Structure 1
Amino acid sequence: MDYKIKKAGLEDLDTVAGLFNRYRIFYRQPDDYKKCSAFIQERLANKQSHIFLAYVQDEAVGFVQLYELYHYIKLKKQWLLSDLFVHPDHRGKGLSVALIDRSKQWCEETGACGLMLETEKTNDIGNKLYPRCGFVYDGLHNYYYWWK
């Protein structure tokens, strides 16, 4: 399949926001393009995340969003692969792997020690994809959240 991966900027806000809204709907969140657009605009404008878009022909059909973190053992920057989404019509064609590979390349470009991610236990697609892409399941840690 012929595709290209592009680093998103503010000029891509509408495209990213549309895909991000669909991603959130996949995770059972309400359809809210306006809030998604404001959220993505703030991330891009303040350089708080880095987003790569996957294009098939001239249509954006997927994205990955990375946030900067720091690893306490490696004493280096690492990237949180926070969001990965490919439109359902384009799944199974290698685009998720291509976006992950681009994220790995971003680690090289930025001197980061690696990527980390989390996904729901019920995400069968992701839980099969990530080990195939070289990710190792960390069964030693529990992740907890505090929500305000």
Structure 2
Amino acid sequence: MNYNIRKASLEDLDQAAALFNLYRIFYRQESDLEKAKEFLRDRFLYGESEIFLAIQGEQAVGFVQLYKLFHYTKLQRQWLLSDLFVHPDHRSKGLSVRLIDRSKVWCEETGACGLMLETEKTNVIGNSLYPRCGFEYDGMHNYYHWWR
């Protein structure tokens, strides 16, 4: 199978939202395609994230979403690899690695110092994948959340 990785645009909203909805379901959220579409539409319209799609033929089968951050010690832009998903029918074909590799190239293209990410401790696949892709586990920091 031949796959292409390309930067998404607003014209890709329907396909990106369908994958994003499946991604949210993977993380135990209720299916809500319309809210997923609205969420991604706003990210596109306001330039708040960058999305790269894995394409087979004309169909998007995976994606990665990056958010711009700034690193306080390196004094440079960095990207948060927030979301990574490959449709179950297209897994085990190296698409996650290709999407991560494209994200690394995006860092070079935008002058960013690198990528950061977090994943659940129970995400066995991700916790195996990320070190293989050159990510280092950061056992020095505790991550906290505040939700309203």
Ranges of 4+ aligned residues in structure 1 off by more than 3 Å: none
Whole-Å separation in 2 of the counterparts to 1:93 and 1:56: 12
Match of 1:120 in 2: 120
Where structure 1 has 5 or more consecutive residues not aligned to the other structure, the ranges are none
Whole-Å separation in 2 of the counterparts to 1:58 and 1:43: 22
Match of 1:51 in 2: 51
Q: Output the TM-score relative to the length of structure 2.
A: 0.99
Q: Which amino acid aligns with 2:123?
A: N
| Post-superposition offset of 1:48 | 0.2
Match of 2:80 in 1: 80
Percent identity of equivalent pairs: 71
Instruction: Write out aligned runs for 1:1-148 (5 A).
Output: 1-148=1-148
| Post-superposition offset of 1:144 | 0.3
Whole-Å separation in 1 of the counterparts to 2:47 and 2:135: 26
C-alpha offsets along residues 87-146 of structure 1, whole Å, 9 cap, x if unaligned? 011111100000000000000000000000000000000000000000000000010000
Whole-Å separation in 2 of the counterparts to 1:59 and 1:12: 10
Q: Which amino acid aligns with 1:119?
A: T
Q: Which amino acid aligns with 2:3?
A: Y
How large is the Cα RMSD of the aligned pairs? 0.6
Whole-Å separation in 2 of the counterparts to 1:118 and 1:92: 21
| Post-superposition offset of 1:57 | 2.6
Whole-Å separation in 2 of the counterparts to 1:12 and 1:90: 19
Q: Which amino acid aligns with 1:35?
A: K
Where structure 2 has 5 or more consecutive residues not aligned to the other structure, the ranges are none
Q: Is the 8 A contact 2:15 2:59 kept in 1?
A: no
Aligned length: 148
